[in-house]
Structure 1
């Protein structure tokens, strides 16, 4: 087997492979002999068909099969011999494909980039420091009460926060428009569910009252036919219900699985959950900064094949998340290319950190992470046992732990600044950058 390799770009390789005619004929003959043992040809007993007849009937198919298998096997042999690491399937183009002659083909493919990760010292990290104060727990109790608000019929004028049952008919220039009418709709005033001005105009209304209001659709409204236009809505208020916050009592605590300990026991459980959320939020923000820093300090070119594969994965995820009748391939690739490239680069960089620093998942940290996740459930011991019986889930946890070890490795050399903040600021999600 003869092999030559040409670099056509930083990552693309053009490999020419020559396979001797003797090797080809050996493979063809193997297949013909196998065929001869089972072929059924009229006038001959199975296994007794002359090879000349077998060759006449089956040689073309045997040769095609042999050539396909030879290209596959010799490509693998060649990349091993040349110490190449293909990043995807090759595009194969035969150069010489004639019977009785050597086979020669060209395989064009991309290879994984070879690089060394560095620049940890240039990465700046702001690590937040926060505690869960009593006031934070008080605030969380109020949030939980509001999330469990009940509404009771009120014999008074509507106020912000009330839930109204309404019928409405909307018109523009005297003509009803699609989606502008409904009956029996439940609307909480002040929720911002309707277009600006709609809910405000119903404050002070009473049950049984009909009001005509004239709100204006925003200029950036998703329906361009309505954007910027003023509508006339005739609204009938069927009923008004006032919000009733639940009392902090045993019945309320039981909704969250706390059946003993009273208020203090419930506060302790809420605080424990908030502290877990706080740890995760701080850890996540540090990790994001480390990953951003690794990307900035280690710009690398990545194979287009890997980006394309990641784009396809993101397409499938998008269809699964949003449903509908779309097929993944109908979603434009450019919607996912930037995210796909970031994922691919990060995957390669993180893998190289693991390799260079000889990192392996720490078993103690794996168990600690599983126990942390299990603590959010009613019977944590069963959750821990389930993880240890599920190889796929265990591998996912090990991957997360390994990423955390990568973060720790970078933090040992990075420029880390601690910043004291409130609980609210620490757990607040980082806003995504606005597109230019």
Structure 2
């Protein structure tokens, strides 16, 4: 707000800033997080092999009752209180029984039906069903089976393994799958220990008042991340909100506590980086900038963007946070 603005006198104004809250760390280096051993088991490898076989299955039309694993083509309608629901207008759908694309109660009612059969049945949705308009309600399904196909799975042979890339035999494919499974588990365990370590430090730290504008800004960031994630799934955000029966304001309220925790975690990481005098070198930033250019080539940003001070500062903050988290894990993860 302008306090004084007159010819021949000093210009005075009043500005209000939101200050980063104070933080006091506890004795965080005395904390301990135990890393759990991980392994990739043979039955997990075989489960992946089976999934790959099912993905490449041929479906052959058959004249028998529906069984688990069959592909079914059907028309169906859904009625609630004797009125056809908007979601249940006559549809033709294909699904594989046992894959969980429909409710288990629906699939159970299809077992044994043949092409040409029709059936009506009712199921009651669970009280906590995601689509609230169906939660706890009885819904009548009217189905007409148009076709039944049996899955013919390819044998897991050396020739079949070669079709997935640079594998000479099924043994090499199994070994590659097992290696990937182990890598995924190790990554998940690293993420778990990181989150546990940060949570423990957060619980032993004390914070000044978190400015509302920070919480509001982080809440909007979380909402934007969710929107982007939904759109990547080829679903409009409006449709997503309709499915979960919530509004953007409902989500904002749900995100508020999580947003405040995110802010506190960021403050912890920055404070430890400062206290431990952690730095990011120009060489580290330059190397990461080159990686970013390569990864985002053709995504709309010109090279000038990756040379800008704005991007450089952002990247330096990311690298410093990464280094601080690595330091934290090195201190307390055992």
TM-score of the superposition, structure 2-length normalised? 0.75
SS in 1 for 2:15: strand
> How far is the alpha carbon of 1:343 from its aligned partner?
2.0
Q: Residue in 2 aligned with 1:94?
A: 2
Return the alpha-carbon distance in structure 2 between the equivalents of residues 235 and 145 of structure 1. 30
Return the alpha-carbon distance in structure 2 between the equivalents of residues 215 and 410 of structure 1. 52
Contact (CA 8 Å) 2:120, 2:143: kept in 1 or not?
yes
Which of 267, 278, 282 pairs up with 1:359?
278
Residue 279 in structure 1 maps to residue 186 in structure 2: yes
Which ranges in structure 2 are unaligned for 5 or more consecutive residues?
239-246, 298-302
Q: 1:77-116 residue pairs with structure 2 within 5 A?
A: 93-115=1-23
Superposed CA deviations along residues 196-252 of structure 1, whole A, max 9, x for unmatched, are 532211111111112222223333445555444434333211111122333223554
Residue 123 in structure 1 maps to residue 31 in structure 2: yes
SS in 2 for 1:288: helix
Residue 331 in structure 1 maps to residue 248 in structure 2: yes
Residues 122 and 296 of structure 1: CA distance in aligned 2, closer, same or farther (over 3 Å): farther
Contact (CA 8 Å) 2:122, 2:141: kept in 1 or not?
yes
TM-score of the superposition, structure 1-length normalised? 0.59
SS in 1 for 2:89: strand
> How far is the alpha carbon of 1:128 from its aligned partner?
0.9
Residue 346 in structure 1 maps to residue 259 in structure 2: no
Q: Give RMSD over aligned pairs.
A: 3.8
Superposed CA deviations along residues 241-265 of structure 1, whole A, max 9, x for unmatched, are 1223332235543453x23321122
Superposed CA deviations along residues 63-108 of structure 1, whole A, max 9, x for unmatched, are xxxxxxxxxxxxxxxxxxxxxxxxxxxxxx2223334433332222
Which of 327, 330, 333 pairs up with 1:409?
327
Residues 121 and 163 of structure 1: CA distance in aligned 2, closer, same or farther (over 3 Å): same
Larger relative CO (CA 8 A, sep 6+): 1 or 2? 2
Q: Residue in 1 aligned with 2:300?
A: none
Return the alpha-carbon distance in structure 2 between the equivalents of residues 406 and 387 of structure 1. 24
Q: Residue in 2 aligned with 1:155?
A: 63
> How far is the alpha carbon of 1:114 from its aligned partner?
4.2
> How far is the alpha carbon of 1:121 from its aligned partner?
3.4
Contact (CA 8 Å) 1:160, 1:190: kept in 2 or not?
yes
Q: Residue in 2 aligned with 1:208?
A: 116
Q: Residue in 2 aligned with 1:4?
A: none
Return the alpha-carbon distance in structure 2 between the equivalents of residues 192 and 252 of structure 1. 27
> How far is the alpha carbon of 1:365 from its aligned partner?
10
Which ranges in structure 1 are unaligned for 5 or more consecutive residues?
1-92, 370-382, 418-436
